[in-house]
Structure formats: structure tokens, C-alpha cells
């Protein structure tokens, strides 16, 4: 559902089912932003965020969670995420959050060949 919404909003989305798969995507493709779930199998969101920043990747990361408390999500912002969202959230809220951090015009991107990992 999120991929469909993100595509409609103009984002080229590459799905990764866990943090390790997300890191493999980053190894093969340049991405302009990451929408990162905290609870994932194999490698969770906080660990992936640590790895992404350790690798020197500077793209914006928005973290989302249905079970994390606000204090924990704010810690992730201190560790390198740009923002966070609590699930469930209205799609309009996610659209505004993505526009704030992933807006192609803000990033100087004008084509559809840039991807966002979700």
C-alpha cells in the first residue's frame, strides 16, 4: 500500500523486506532517501540506520514504527534519522513528511531515475 502511494506521489520506490536487504540495495543503487520501519526481521531499523550512517551514506532517513515510544524514536533522530512517524498514520501525514525530507526539488533532482528505499 505504501509503495503505491509513494509511486503516486512521484517517488520511484525499491522495496526491501529487512535491513540486510536494504543495505544490499544501497550497495547496488544510489537512493535519495529511506523510509525505514523499526521492526523488521533479519536486521531491524535501528541497526540498519547505524550501518547506513557508518557507511557514510547521508541520504535522508524517515523512521516509522507502530510499537516504539516517542523517546526511542527521538533517539534515532539523534543517531541520524531526519524524522519519524507513528503507525498507523494518515497517508496525508506521510506525504507531508516525505515532501519535507525527500522532495526532489530540494535535493536538486529533476528526473525519475532516483530511487527511494522503503
pLDDT of residue 68: 65
Q: Are strands 12-14 and 115-117 parallel, antiparallel or unpaired?
A: parallel
Q: Which CATH superfamily is domain 2-103 in?
A: Response regulator (3.40.50.2300)
Spell 24-39 as b/e; 16+ CB within 10 A means b.
eebeeeebbbbbbbbe
* DSSP output for 1-51: -HHHHHHHTT-EEE--SSHHHHHHHHHHS-EEEEEEES--SSS-HHHHHHH
Confirm whether pTM is higher than 0.85.
no
Share above pLDDT 70 across residues of the chain, in percent, rounded to a whole number = 86
> Tell me, what DSSP letter sits at residue 112?
T
For residue 52, the SS3 value is helix
Residue 25 pLDDT greater than 90, yes or no: yes
Phi, psi of 85 (to 5 degrees): -140, 140
Percent of the chain with pLDDT over 90: 41
Query: pLDDT band for position 47 (50/70/90)?
Result: very high
In angstroms, what CA-CA distances link 118 with 1, 3, 71?
11, 8, 23
- The mean predicted confidence, pLDDT, of the chain is 84
Q: What is the pLDDT of residue 110?
A: 42
Q: Comparing 13 with 75, which gets the higher pLDDT?
A: 13
**Domain spans, the chain:** 2-103
Mean pLDDT over residues 77-105, rounded? 85
Amino acid at each position: 500500500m505504501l509503495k503505491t502511494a509513494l509511486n503516486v506521489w512521484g517517488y520511484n520506490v525499491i522495496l526491501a523486506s529487512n535491513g540486510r536487504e536494504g543495505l544490499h540495495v544501497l550497495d547496488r543503487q544510489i537512493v535519495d532517501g529511506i523510509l525505514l520501519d523499526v521492526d523488521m526481521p533479519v536486521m531491524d531499523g535501528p541497526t540498519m540506520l547505524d550501518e547506513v550512517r557508518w557507511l557514510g551514506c547521508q541520504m535522508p532517513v524517515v523512521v516509522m514504527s507502530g510499537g516504539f515510544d516517542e523517546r526511542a524514536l527521538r533517539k534515532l533522530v539523534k543517531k541520524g534519522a531526519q524524522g519519524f512517524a507513528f503507525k498507523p498514520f494518515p497517508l496525508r501525514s506521510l506525504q507531508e513528511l516525505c515532501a519535507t525530507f525527500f522532495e526532489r526539488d530540494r535535493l536538486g533532482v529533476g528526473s525519475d531515475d532516483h530511487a527511494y528505499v522503503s
